[in-house]
Structure 1
Amino acid sequence: MTAELAVAVREQAALGEGPTWGAAARRLIWVDILGSRVHTYTPETGRRTVMATEQHVGAAKPRADGGLVVNLRDGVGSYAPDGSFTWLLRDPVPGRRGNDAAVAPDGSLWAGTMRYDEAPGGGNLVRIAPDGTTREMLPSVAVSNGIGWSPDGSLLYYVDSPTRRIDVCPADAELATHRRPFATIEPGAGYPDGLTVDADGCVWVALWDGAQLRRYTPDGTLDRVVPLPVHRPTACAFGGPDLRDLYISTARTGRPRPHPLSGSLLVLRNAGRGLPGVPFGSPEVVDRFG
Structure 2
Amino acid sequence: MTAVEVALAARAGFAECPTWDVAAGTLLWVDMSECAVHRFDPADGRDTVTTFAQPVAAAKPRADRGLVLSLRDGVAVTDRDGTLRWLVDWSESGVRGNDAGVDDRGRLWVGTIAGEASPGSLSCLSPDGRFEAVATDLRMSNGIAWNPEACLMYHVDTPTRRIDVLDYDSATGRATNRRMFAEVTGTPGVPDGLCVDAEGGVWVALFRGGAVRRYAPDGRLDREIVVPASLTTSCTFGGPDLTDLYVTTARRDLGQVEPMAGNLFVVPGLVQGCPATPFAG
TM-score of the superposition, structure 1-length normalised?
Answer: 0.91
User: For residues 233 and 120 of structure 1, what CA distance do their matches in structure 2 show?
Assistant: 29
- Equivalent AA in structure 2 for residue 96 of structure 1: V
**Where does structure 1 lack aligned partners over 5 or more consecutive residues?**
283-290
Deviation, structure 1 residue 254: 5.7
User: For residues 181 and 227 of structure 2, what CA distance do their matches in structure 1 show?
Assistant: 23
1:129 aligns with 2:126: yes
- Equivalent AA in structure 2 for residue 139 of structure 1: T
Contact preservation (8 Å) 2:31, 2:56: yes
Written as runs of structure 1 = structure 2, the 5 A alignment for 1:234-273 is 234-253=233-252, 255=254, 257-273=256-272
Worse-superposed segment, 207-216 or 40-49: 40-49
Deviation, structure 1 residue 10: 0.6
User: For residues 60 and 201 of structure 1, what CA distance do their matches in structure 2 show?
Assistant: 24
Aligned to 2:152: 155
Deviation, structure 1 residue 115: 3.9
Contact preservation (8 Å) 1:3, 1:268: yes
- Equivalent AA in structure 2 for residue 151 of structure 1: P
Contact preservation (8 Å) 1:215, 1:223: yes
Aligned to 2:24: 25
Deviation, structure 1 residue 97: 1.6
User: For residues 38 and 220 of structure 1, what CA distance do their matches in structure 2 show?
Assistant: 33
Aligned to 2:79: 80
Q: Secondary structure at the match of 2:111?
A: strand
- Equivalent AA in structure 1 for residue 137 of structure 2: S
1:208-253 CA deviation, whole Å, 9 max, x = no partner?
Answer: 0111110011001111010111001100000011101000010112
- Equivalent AA in structure 1 for residue 146 of structure 2: W
User: For residues 254 and 206 of structure 1, what CA distance do their matches in structure 2 show?
Assistant: 20
**Where does structure 2 lack aligned partners over 5 or more consecutive residues?**
none
Aligned to 2:51: 52
Residue 9 to residue 256, structure 1, CA distance change in 2 (3 Å)? closer
1:29-84 CA deviation, whole Å, 9 max, x = no partner?
Answer: 00011210001101112121000011111100000010100000110000012101
1:113-136 CA deviation, whole Å, 9 max, x = no partner?
Answer: 1147xx696311111011111111
Q: What is the RMSD computed on CA atoms of the aligned residues?
A: 1.9
| Alignment: residue pair count | 278
- Equivalent AA in structure 1 for residue 102 of structure 2: V
Contact preservation (8 Å) 1:104, 1:278: yes
Aligned to 2:104: 105
User: For residues 19 and 252 of structure 2, what CA distance do their matches in structure 1 show?
Assistant: 21
Contact preservation (8 Å) 1:16, 1:32: yes
User: For residues 23 and 202 of structure 1, what CA distance do their matches in structure 2 show?
Assistant: 20
Aligned to 1:288: none
- Equivalent AA in structure 1 for residue 95 of structure 2: R
Contact preservation (8 Å) 2:62, 2:279: yes
Aligned to 1:145: 142
Worse-superposed segment, 224-233 or 183-192: 183-192
- Equivalent AA in structure 2 for residue 25 of structure 1: A
Deviation, structure 1 residue 3: 4.4
